[in-house]
Structure 1
Amino acid sequence: MALTILTTDDSKFQRNVIKKELTALLEGREITFFEASNGLEALSLLKSEKIDLMFLDLTMPEMDGYQVLGKIQEEGIDVKVIVVSADIQPKALKRVQELGAVGFVKKPMDGKKAEPIILKSGVL
């Protein structure tokens, strides 16, 4: 069964970096990728598709990553979320953990740094 991954970032470049890193890291695995450029698109995909793992930026137009995490909690959506952001302040780390994220990776994403978080998430 394919692993379904949603990358959510307003930067197409960053979405491509994440996809490239994950494709290399999870070589040999069947992966289906979905992309969203903002939180509203992401929530729509989370409701219409079975997503196993989500990589989420914090700073986006229309609905930011914090709001997305809040909605995921509020609506009981079953997805593991890894935040990918340049904002690595302790306050941001604490807040995303409180909102249910399983981990945090600094931009630009490095697959090797994401690997232990992915393994810990239990999706593999």
Structure 2
Amino acid sequence: MPIPVTIADDSLMSRKAVRRALPEDWDVEITEACNGKEALEAANSGKAEVLFLDLTMPELDGFGVLKYLHEQQSKTVVIVISADIQPEAKLLVDSLGAFRFLQKPLQPAQLREALFDVGLI
């Protein structure tokens, strides 16, 4: 049974990069979100067992998404993929329950390692 995955990023190019970096043998059903509100809609409708989340997005940023999921005690596995690598951002992301913080541009090996660590592959 495919794992419901949502890729949330306002950049189409970034969403495509995440798709390309996913392991080919990983059985997933992918939903895309262009902003934080769409990401939360996907999570609330069961389409984001795994959420790849950018931090800088319109309408609701990644921090807002993480805060909401944290407050709801969501079981969604969140992997942040962002160019914002400031130590303060990483600490906040960690405190809000993100599993991993990966830097853009995304490296497929980093993503595979993160997925392996969480037991998804």
TM-score w.r.t. length of structure 1 = 0.91
Structure 2 counterpart of 1:115: 112
**How many angstroms apart in 1 are the aligned matches of 2:78 and 2:86?**
18
For the pair 1:15 / 2:15, whether they are aligned, the reply is yes
Structure 2 counterpart of 1:84: 81
For the pair 1:47 / 2:44, whether they are aligned, the reply is yes
**How many angstroms apart in 2 are the aligned matches of 1:31 and 1:8?**
15
The root-mean-square deviation of aligned C-alpha atoms, in Å, is: 1.2
Q: How far does residue 123 in structure 1 lie from its aligned partner after superposition? A: 2.6
Q: How far does residue 50 in structure 1 lie from its aligned partner after superposition? A: 4.3
**How many angstroms apart in 2 are the aligned matches of 1:90 and 1:102?**
16
1:75-103 residue CA offsets vs partner (Å, 9 max, x unmatched): 12211001000011111111100000000
1:15-42 residue CA offsets vs partner (Å, 9 max, x unmatched): 01101111xxx22232110100000011
CA contact (8 A) 1:38 1:63 kept: yes
Paired residues in the alignment total 121
Bigger helix fraction: 1
1:23-75 residue CA offsets vs partner (Å, 9 max, x unmatched): xxx22232110100000011011111242211100001110000100000111
Runs of 4+ in 1 over 6 A off after TM superposition: none
Q: Could you tell me which amino acid in structure 2 is paired with residue 112 of structure 1? A: A
Aligned residue for 1:10, secondary structure, equals coil
Identity across the alignment (%): 39
TM-score w.r.t. length of structure 2 = 0.93
Structure 2 spans left out of the alignment, 5+ residues: none
For the pair 1:6 / 2:3, whether they are aligned, the reply is no
Aligned residue for 1:6, secondary structure, equals strand
**How many angstroms apart in 2 are the aligned matches of 1:4 and 1:110?**
21
Aligned match of 1:98 in 92, 95, 100? 95
Aligned residue for 1:55, secondary structure, equals strand
